[in-house]
Amino acid sequence: MSDLDDIVKEFLVESYENLDQLDRDLVVLEKAPTDRATLGSVFRTIHTIKGTCGFFGFAKLEAVTHVGENLLSRLRDGLQPLTSDVTTALLQLVDAVRELLDRIEKTGGEGDGNYAELIGHLTYLQHAKVLPPAPVEAATAAKTTTDVGVIDASIRVDVGVLDQLMNLVGELVLARNQAVLAAPSSDEPHFHRAVQSLTQITRELQDAVMKTRMQPIGVLWDRYQRIVRDLATQLGKQVRLELEGGEAELDRGILEAVKDSFIHVVRNAIDHGIESPAVRLERGKPAEGLLKMRAAHTGGQVVIEVSDDGGGISPDRVRAKAVEKGLITADQAARLNDHDAVRMIFLPGFSTADAVTNISGRGVGMDVVKTNIEGIGGSLDVRSTLDVGTTLRVNIPLTLAIMPALTLRCGGERFAIPQMNLLELVRLDGAAARKSADQLHGLPVFRLRDQLLPLVFLRDVLNLGGEQDLEEWNILVVQAEGRRFGLVVDRVLDSQEIVVKPLDPQLKSLTVYSGATILGDGGVALILDVLGLARTAGVLSPLDRDRERVKASGKSTPVSVNTQTWLLLASGPDRRFALPMAPVVRIADVPVGDIESVGRLAVIRYRGDILPLVKLTDALGDPPRPWAGDSIAVVIFRDGDRLVGLAVDRVVDVVEAEARTQATAARPGVTGTAVLADRVAELIDVPAVLRLTDPWAALTAEVGAS
């Protein structure tokens, strides 16, 4: 319908806005049916649509709104009550009006839809029990009077015009950056003043244009009242939606990009999270569940939390489902902590639903939500406690058009990194860097304030060639999915506002870049994607790129503090392990010549019995190697009612210390790392090692085979 005249276009725009308001008002009315002011507003909106569509000759639209107007008139006058059935019918009326408006906008006509059943149902509802007319308050009439001295100070502007303005401001920012770069080489004071003026005006214009594109997130949230109401009714649940921080603003484009994602999150919370009233009462909860959405500005981003007080997500059930679907193995599932297990809901095709319904259970959803959020430079995480509830936390940038960034140089190329991902900068000379750096699983780590920071060398990740400068390390401490790591670059250049330009479709597969920008000197710099760098370098879990290994998000911040006695062990010249002394039965020094074999299993004779040996490095998946030296250290543990020996190269020391444990990438039998006796040590999970190797079962099998 490209030839719509201006009047019809205006009618459609106003009607769509009115329908959104109707959805909100009707849901509010269901909870406060005696709100006469809101009832009057709903009646006037339907009356306006009916009158205007009659002028244009839209007969079906007029018929539907006419019968709705009659029902609303009776409700407004107090002749019948506003019940749940009536509210549902009026919401169906709103849906029918929206459907007709869509057809008119697309085709110019109302189509061949049949609304006789809806009209008949609305007519039937008009004959419900009649109530005595309610007294009309004088104040009601007074509210409808119009102050002729007030002039509407707002106008409608086509979105395309706003987009064009934003693009022009972006070009102006580029021109400003070029002028700022050229200013130091000029001795003309008038030029310097002109550049300062240009900078100020550009900043103010940029802020003003940005405001025209910003919308409060409440505009999006208001639509969820209807969704929550309809879905709760359909599932036989009672749900109260609470909204906080709806005034927080986001770029219109970002709001549009995330709206469907949050709809899915809301549906998931009601369908999977919040229990039925009967179940909630059995668990000592109120029959009505709570779904809360909260938004707040923080650090150039908007943080949105969606939380419910439902049953939570069972980590054990998630593990079982993941194994059942072949996403991970049983051994990998056993090694996952609860948080990492819950994060598997973001895997493609993952669902814990027992049955597929028209609401959920198809395994298509949370992975798409994650992809959409990350596609606009955001991140998300989930926390859940069984029988308490679940919280999804989403970080979203305010805008994707212009953002503050740090420019840097590496391998002769310039890059930009968004400042919202940047936590701090660390500059070290070569000696300090080498002293503070260590190796963990063959990967470099850096001790920053007693916390282990994985290091990613940008030169290596991007295959830029050349040698890393060993005399000075510039470390950008960044964060992705709650995981901190250090990005090592050659030089840090400057902070500036950059205009984000999309990459060519042929380059979309390069996940380490999120876009490009033109710098002040006219050169082009690629914008680094911190999340993509983390995945490519293996700092985050390979879960996102390889289904065979899962460890969604280890955090470098301390997760536990333990003051206890630790046994320090060594393997090779520079690798340390640590394990608690409490479960240790005995430590023995065993000559290599006393080690015997039963099949492929190493054993020793201990107090008249056979003691199976588990070589620690073999259990951790390292390449097999022969016994080192003339003797080995054997740490003896009790496995149930039997003993098992853990074989290592040597025992270093026994220390009593407060170990600040930190989660690391997934590794069989390792719970994390810690700094003990001024060295990085891997903390051994002895029960996990014994589960992985099951030495007594292996010994029984070898004896049976022989």
Tens digits of residue pLDDT in 456-468: 889 888 888 777 6
Q: Which helix (H) or strand (E) holds 269?
A: none
Rounded CA separation 439/455 (Å): 10
Angle between helix axes 224-235 and 84-107 (nearest 10 degrees) is: 130
Tell me, yes or no, whether 170 and 112 share the same domain. no
Are the C-beta atoms of 479 and 553 separated by less than 8 Å?
A: no
Q: Residue 360: which region, alpha, beta or left (left: phi > 0; alpha: psi -120 to 50)?
A: beta
Dig out the tokens for 619 from the structure: 């259990």
| 555 falls within a domain | no
Provide the number of structural domains found in the chain: 5
Residues 455 and 578 in one domain: no
Residues 275 and 379 in one domain: yes
Q: Are residues 298 and 182 in the same domain?
A: no
* Beta partners for residue 292, in sequence order: 242, 307
Mean pLDDT of 436-443: 65
Q: Are 166 and 98 in the same domain? A: no
The rounded radius of gyration (Å) of the Cα atoms in the chain is 33
User: Residue 232's CB: how many other CB atoms inside 10 A?
Assistant: 20
CATH number at residue 352: 3.30.565.10
Pairing of strands 289-298, 379-385: unpaired
Query: CA-CA distance, 693 to 140, in Å (whole number)?
Result: 79
Looking at the structure, do residues 56 and 164 belong to the same domain, yes or no?
Answer: no
Distance CA 91, CA 94 (A): 5
Question: What is the token pair recorded at 227?
Answer: 């969704």
* 552 in Cβ contact with 563 (< 8 Å): no
Are 203 and 136 in the same domain?
A: no
Residue 192: CATH number of its domain: 1.10.287
What values do phi and psi take at 78, rounded to 5?
Answer: 75, 20
pLDDT range class, residue 667, cuts 50, 70, 90: low
Mean pLDDT of 179-203: 81
Calculate mean pLDDT across residues 314-329.
85
DSSP 8-class letter at 391: E
pLDDT bracket for residue 498 (50, 70, 90): confident
Would you give the distance in Å from CA 479 to the centre of its chain?
A: 13
CA distances from residue 70 to 17, 59, 64, 174, 548 in whole angstroms, order as listed: 22, 17, 10, 59, 63
Reference 159, options 212, 118, 106, 201; nearest CA is 212
Which position has the higher pLDDT, 431 or 70? 70
Whether 377 maps to a domain, the answer reads: yes
Distance of CA 653 to the CA centre of its chain: 43
Share of the chain above pLDDT 90, in %: 6
Of the candidates 338, 347, 254, 246, the one whose C-alpha atom is nearest the C-alpha of residue 294 is 246
Please name the residue that has the structure tokens 């809101």: 38
pTM, full prediction: 0.57
The two three-digit tokens of residue 228, written as one number? 């929550």
- What does the pLDDT average to over 348-353? 65
* Residue 639 domain-assigned (yes or no): yes
Q: What is the mean pLDDT of the segment spanning 338-350?
A: 80
Give the H/E segment covering residue 82. Answer: none
203, part of any domain? yes
* Residue 168 and residue 59 in one domain: no
Answer whether 491's CB lies under 8 Å from 459's CB: no
- pLDDT, tens digit, for every residue of 69-112? 888 888 877 788 888 888 888 888 888 888 888 888 877 777 78
Q: For residues 312 and 427, state if they share a domain.
A: no
Q: State the distance between the two ends of the chain, measured CA to CA, in whole angstroms.
A: 84
Helix %, strand %, coil % of the chain (to 5): 40, 30, 30
428 has which bridge partners? 473
String of DSSP letters for 207-226: HHHHHHHEEETHHHHTTHHH
pLDDT level of residue 140 (50, 70, 90 thresholds): very low
Residue 149 lies in a domain: no
Quick: pLDDT tens for 271-315: 888 999 999 999 999 999 999 999 888 766 788 999 999 999 888
Domain boundary among 532, 550, 585: 532
Task: Supply the pLDDT for residue 286.
Answer: 93
Q: What is the average pLDDT across 637-647?
A: 79
What is the per-residue pLDDT for 442?
A: 60
Verify that 133 and 240 share a domain, yes or no: no
> What would you measure as the largest C-alpha separation in the chain, in angstroms?
105
Report yes or no on 132 lying in a domain: yes
Q: Is residue 308 part of a domain?
A: yes
pLDDT at 139: 39
Report the distance separating Cα 431 and Cα 608, nearest Å: 54
Give the up-direction half-sphere exposure of residue 45: CA atoms within 13 A in the CB hemisphere: 23
* Average pLDDT value over all residues in the chain: 77
Contact status, residue 540 vs residue 481, Cβ threshold 8 Å: yes
Query: Which range of residues forms the domain containing residue 645?
Result: 560-705
From 13-22, 385-394, 511-520, 556-565, the region with the lowest mean pLDDT: 556-565
- Of the candidates 190, 214, 238, which is a domain's last residue? 214
CATH code of the domain in which 439 resides:
2.40.50.180
Do you know the residue count of the chain?
A: 706
Helix then strand count (H, E) for the chain reads: 22, 29
Is there a domain that residue 63 lies in?
A: yes
Which phi and psi angles does 87 have, rounded to 5°? -60, -45
Residue-level pLDDT at 145:
42
pLDDT at 361: 42
Average pLDDT (222-238) is 86
DSSP state of 544: G
Cβ count near 78 (within 10 Å): 18
Kindly report, residue by residue over 545-572, the tens digit of the pLDDT: 333 333 333 333 333 334 567 888 887 7
**Residue with tokens 């049916």, as numbered in its chain:** 33
Same domain, 458 and 564: no
223 & 302 share domain: yes
Residue 358: its pLDDT value, please?
46
Q: How confident is the model at residue 201 (pLDDT cuts 50, 70, 90)?
A: confident
Last residue of a domain, one of 368, 397, 426: 397
